[in-house]
Structure 1
């Protein structure tokens, strides 16, 4: 079994990276990381590429909206550029797979909504291929609220997308969605190319279920990998197709670089990454 490479989602250090891209990447390189997952990269691809090159890092995957007119996050909305603009920026940086990070909860509640998401991502895959790029999807927990004939909206979506569409499973959010996480990791098979390695105390109920209280990322009790509720070790061993183990905190518990280093140590010392 080939071990995945360690990476880190730059959303984890969104404020630090916005203030000092080069210094932030240099600190990640000093921790021992060689890969990052870019976020909010479309408006400044040349700057990000230069900073990555100077730090000796690469960004094989990156998050950008492909499936929504406007990308909602718990901390505000992000305008959605045309897919061609996204892919051109990604190619400049050296990203190989552009991953949509969030589709609004209400779109996952009906079979037609799920089919529309899948169709849009299949079309994005066609456009991305003209740039030599792949596309993928990153889950939260809203994809696991509805089910259709005993199949979750998420897995129905997987069945409707082209085989070339890649999957990045956020382990924390899959658990928050009530999933048997290692079993889901195994079922996704060769479609699964990346895992978001995220730990903490998982909310008691799915926070995106209809009627659930609204929340922000600052309400999440997230912890260093291996110290929370998420069965990370079992999940990381459940599928030999995974290429990237991507460290992420939505709400880092302390100094963000120390938090990243702690999760990287879990991956490295546990033998979960190459």
Structure 2
């Protein structure tokens, strides 16, 4: 039996990586604080889930549902990952990090697409979708006149979806509004942070406090199911940061308000 239910359309979530240090110190207390801020959903990783059954229990006790689940899908035990995702009620498993050194050629893109395609077939048997989340290098790297991310989308199965990190798109030199619009229905999830458009993670800011055109991005992607607040790092109190993002985005995602 799943712990949680599926996410609602146009809803707001929190990528729990943002509060990873607090989770290490106090799992239950951190999740309770996330819920107190107003979040109803989170994005949970297989790494966190693997800490043990206390994770599912703490999520249940906090009232947080799991909108999306993240894990590497390259050379991993897909069955264990998919079983974990189903147990938490997630509808998609997203590979959120294939390092820059693995994107050096079209052949690299072919290999990555192959991994995602195999995962997608296995995921479907569990009622799940597979997705991919970008960083800047998939936009910055160009092959045959296309970005590596565009080539990847050309090569993966049609049911493979995207979780677009709009900030990293901009850091990679692309227009996030155009990218979201051009990929259309492939974009089912967003990561939303803000800042000066810099690779320095400590410069990341809450949504609405930087240069990212968040309103235009959301307008370009009405099909997006969940927008997830995320900070890779934060130079301040992370709970204040995720609260500021929630306050800004809950006015823009109709399913987010409490």
Q: Fold match, TM over 0.5?
A: yes
Tell me the residue number matched to 2:246.
264
Tell me the residue number matched to 2:20.
14
Correspondence for 1:30 among 14, 30, 36 = 36
Tell me the residue number matched to 2:4.
none
- Contact 1:22–1:51 (CA<8 Å) still a contact in 2? yes
Correspondence for 1:169 among 164, 167, 180 = 164
Q: CA deviation at 1:107?
A: 2.1
- 1:124-167: CA deviations, max 9, x gaps? 11111222221111111111232223211101101111111111
Tell me the residue number matched to 1:221.
203
Question: Scaled by the length of structure 1, what TM-score is found?
Answer: 0.85
Provide the rounded CA distance (Å) in 1 between the counterparts of 2:146 and 2:71: 27
- Give the SS at the match of 1:245: strand
Count of aligned pairs: 247
Provide the rounded CA distance (Å) in 2 between the counterparts of 1:246 and 1:21: 20
Unaligned runs of 5+ in 1: 70-80, 208-214
- Give the SS at the match of 1:41: helix
Provide the rounded CA distance (Å) in 1 between the counterparts of 2:162 and 2:168: 14
Unaligned runs of 5+ in 2: 1-7
Q: CA deviation at 1:3?
A: 5.9
- Contact 1:122–1:165 (CA<8 Å) still a contact in 2? yes
Provide the rounded CA distance (Å) in 2 between the counterparts of 1:240 and 1:224: 22
Q: CA RMSD in A?
A: 1.7
Tell me the residue number matched to 1:73.
none
**Superposed, which structure 2 residues align to 1:67-86 within 5 Å?**
67=74, 69=75, 81-86=76-81
- 1:27-63: CA deviations, max 9, x gaps? 1111111110002234136322211111111112011
Provide the rounded CA distance (Å) in 2 between the counterparts of 1:226 and 1:30: 21
Question: Scaled by the length of structure 2, what TM-score is found?
Answer: 0.90
- Contact 2:67–2:226 (CA<8 Å) still a contact in 1? no
Provide the rounded CA distance (Å) in 2 between the counterparts of 1:201 and 1:65: 29
Provide the rounded CA distance (Å) in 2 between the counterparts of 1:273 and 1:154: 29
**Superposed, which structure 2 residues align to 1:148-159 within 5 Å?**
148-159=143-154
